[in-house]
Amino acid sequence: MTPRLGMHTLTAGRGLLFGGDYNPEQWPESVWTEDVELMRAAGVNLVTVGVFSWARLEPEPGARDFGWLDRVLGLLGDAGIAVDLATPTASPPPWLGHRWPETLPVDESGHRLWYGARNQFCPSSPVYRERALALVADLADRYAGHPALALWHVGNEYGQICHCDDSAAAFRAWLQDRYGDLDGLNEAWGTTFWSQRYSDWAEVITPRRAPYLINPTQLLDFRRFSSDALLAHYRAERDLLRARTPDTPVTTNFMGLFKPIDYWSWAPEEDLVSNDHYPDPADPLAPARTALVHDLMRGLGGGRPWMLMEQATAAVNWRPHNLPKPSGQLRLESLQAVARGADGLCYFQWRASRFGAERFHAAMLPHAGPDTRLHADVRAHGAELRRLAPIAGTTVPARVALVHDWASWWALDERGQPSDRLDPTDQLLSYYRPLWERGVAVDVVPPSAELSAYALVVVPNLYLISDADAASLTAYVRAGGVLVVGPYSGVVDPRAHVRTGRFPAPLREVLGASGEEWRPVPEDRPVPCRWSDGTEFAARTWTELVRSDGAEPVAAFTEGEPAGHPAVLRHRSGRGVAWYVATLPEQDALAELTARALADAGVTGVLPDVPPGVEAVRRGPALFLLNHGDDAADVPIPHRAEDLLTGTTAEGRITLAPRAVAVLRPLDTP
């Protein structure tokens, strides 16, 4: 069932959303009229206003200056441009930190971080909460019912972590709620180790800088708490906004695979999922990495359309070496988001800033003005997005699920592991790439997801797993599903305590395999492996000493101490099949493994043959073809179709120029 509020609330009557962050407070009012005229010419229909305007709205404690914002919203509304109005609480004004320094965050070494940048607040500070909510309430009261108001944007890119005394007190309260008493805390944290037992709640602090390795469960719980503390503040602002404007959706902007925040717990608290994403032009894996992030956003929203809140038209300012985007890349990246479920395509920002830290961040309107190649590309893209209005609201059906879990990521990231080179996000991308290259649609899901709708579930790494999630994966296979599990999974429980016995303890039965030793290997000495048909491949970084307990070894190590032991196993369990991968195979070997698992699951790509560098995605009735390569690509298509972007008809095959996109609507029944 479609929620009452969501992307559909915004796209009804507008089609796909197009626009960006607008910061009129940085400019004299004489510029505002020109901005609005240029926005209309570019097809802009939504702008975000007020993200960093706290000091302008409240120039001193308790004062209010809404007059300028009244005029901005009036200009935009009269031009038919909707407003995503931000609560400006991400960056408090200097007066807050000066008068109330306890609102400023403290790092793990006990150093207070000062104002002069942004994000300088402690999420657990009562004073910060009081001052922020007072302004948010007044903002909502003033603009409730304003004809330009279409969306609330709470804060900005949440991720602040604090170790101050207020945070320590809030952490203790969080732990008391989680564990009840000190006996429960001591048991969960394993405090008999290194004489860490707590005898009074006052002794419990955040994991501040210490002489050596910190208790891993304390670190894991602090990550959980830090995400929850920010979520509590987001909820407080959101609840004020909902009470005053119940028909206006509320969101905050995520940042993809951002480690500090558990977006699985945040997404249900939003009316729509929005994300900021800035692919690196120097990264050859950027197209696949970006597709993975977009699929994550769609998964966070339960498959519903989402919004790309920020992207860049060209170079950013915050990388050490900021490469420009090649011609056509602006359009290609934006349409890639549409292909993967985005109904909103926005940028940071509308007009490039003359001053401040982001002077050299690209914008929709560059320093050189509207008579530029870049702004012409922006206008052309705005026009073609209007032609894709029928795409709004459609979904991306997927029969494959990719599992990602923040708590497991946090736990694996702690020091004191057999290796610090098992990055779960690297593994996530490695397992995702063969699916992306084949044009297989993927939903990214948490381990607690309902899996029965999927033919194949891929778990690249689940170092931390609960008994309930292990039972769910086991039941999924026995009911007929196909499961692929990567190495170093099922190692610890939700307290980060090692599960004893042969690993992966809670999944041994369904995998039909078990291990006794983790064996990292030198990076410069890949381990030779061989498929059962004689084909060879190499594995790197990691091996495991594993035996078959009923599974079929389909690949084995051929040299070194693990020689003769399985590297990949396949096991029939109930009506399904489970695969276990006891190493990090090279990418070609993962592609072969993926092909075999897809065959087990009876899943094929959207096209029988997708050329290298071409991305193929079906969204609703349309087939999106995106050429990320530097050369033209011939793509076979299964039926006669109209390209919604050009109005031309294609049959049999279509040729895509470098960085070209086609959106094909079938004209005949396939």
Query: Which residues belong to the active site?
Result: 157, 310
CA-to-CA separations, 300 to 1, 7, 25, 33, 248, in angstroms, rounded: 16, 14, 33, 38, 20
Q: Count Cβ atoms within 10 A of the Cβ of residue 467 and give its class: 0-12 exposed, 13-18 middle, 19 or more buried.
A: exposed
Encoded tokens for 9: 């609330």
Beta pairing class for 641-643 and 649-650? antiparallel
CA triple 637-640-642, angle to 5 deg: 100
Q: In a 10 Å sphere around its CB, with 0-12 CB exposed, 13-18 middle and 19+ buried, how is residue 249 labelled?
A: buried
Please name which of 471, 465, 473, 468 lies closest in space to residue 493, comparing C-alpha atoms.
Answer: 465
Stated as kind and residue range, the H or E segment containing 625 is: strand 622-627
For residue 326, what is the DSSP state? P
Q: CA 238 to CA 251: how far, in whole Å?
A: 8
Token match 């790197």: residue?
540
Nearest to 277 by CA among 251, 252, 255, 300: 255
**Cα separation of 598 and 399, whole Å?**
10
- What's the CA gap between 11 and 46, in Å, rounded? 10
Instruction: Give the helix ranges, DSSP H, for 301-394.
Output: 329-339, 373-387
Contact yes or no for 601/575 (Cβ under 8 A): no
Structure tokens at 196: 């860490």
| 3-state helix/strand/coil string of 92-111 | CCHHHHHHCHHHCCECCCCC
The C-alpha atoms of residue 217 and residue 179 are separated, in whole angstroms, by: 13
Read off the tokens for 330: 């602006």
Task: Quickly list DSSP for 512-580.
Answer: TEEEEEEEE--TTSPEEEEETTS-EEEEEEEEEEEEESSPEEEEEE-SSTTTTSEEEEEEEETTEEEEE
How wide is the angle at C-alpha 334 spanned by C-alphas 332 and 338, nearest 5°? 110
What is the crossing angle of helices 373-387 and 329-339, to 10°?
30
DSSP annotation string for 8-53: HHHHTTT-SEEEEEE-GGGS-HHHHHHHHHHHHHHT--EEEE-TT-
The closest of 239, 241, 294, 283 to 442, measured between CA atoms, is 294
Alpha-carbon span 225 to 171, nearest angstrom:
7
User: Which amino acid, residue 335?
Assistant: L
